[in-house]
Amino acid sequence: MSCTNEKNSKKTVHRHMTIEEILSFFPHKAQRLSQEITNAGLHCVGCHAATWETLEAGMLGHGMTNEAIDKLVQRLNALLEEQDEESLDTISLTKKAASKFMEILEEEGKPGWGMRFDDKLAGCNGFEYILDYSESALPDDTIFESYGVQIHVNNNKVARLLGAIIDYFDGLQGSGFKIINPNVRSSCGCGTSHNY
């Protein structure tokens, strides 16, 4: 079964695709798509079921409704519609992450502040990311701007963080900011540390 819309040959996700097909058809968004699928309650991303079981079969098998399947398909296609922020010469936020960060700034009484993006040696695999408030950039910072939020990064860290996308997820297993960094070569099983 093809995932091509015959009218405009634009690829979209549909309920009869397997998870493996979804991730292989859209490799540039695979990390974010798999996170969205996992957040919906399907934890078979990467397991043997993903190679043969359709999104619909997986969701129904996990007790989800047709309405939940339709909502997941809509979310996956909305994610594919998002303008690609994935550029190796910048650090960016997704629209959802920027909106959530500005909401947090309002709650904390820090409107207009930027985001400090950093990493440090920690964990079982080398480095952990740090996201924090930043009232203003420091003299040795590079400033990136995304959806109205300034991202402040120490010049010494830019090379290994360049190309990163900061996203925000809400899901059954919790919510929070997640970093997608093309420079990462390995990560630990607990998911909290990584190496370059």
Question: Where do the structural domains in the chain lie, given as residue ranges?
Answer: 19-81, 92-195
Give residue 92's pLDDT: 92
CA distances from 137 to 93, 116, 141 (A): 17, 8, 6
Using 70 as the pLDDT threshold, list the residues of the chain that sit under it. 1-10, 27-28, 31, 43-51, 83-88, 123-125, 171-173, 185-196
Give residue 171's pLDDT: 67
d(CA 118, CA 34): 25
Q: Look at the domain 92-195 and name its fold.
A: Hypothetical Protein Aq_1857; Chain: A; (2.60.300)
Give residue 51's pLDDT: 66
Angle (CA) 126-130-132 rounded to 5° is 170
Q: What pTM did the predictor assign?
A: 0.59
d(CA 13, CA 78): 10
Q: Which residue has the tokens 């990311």?
A: 129
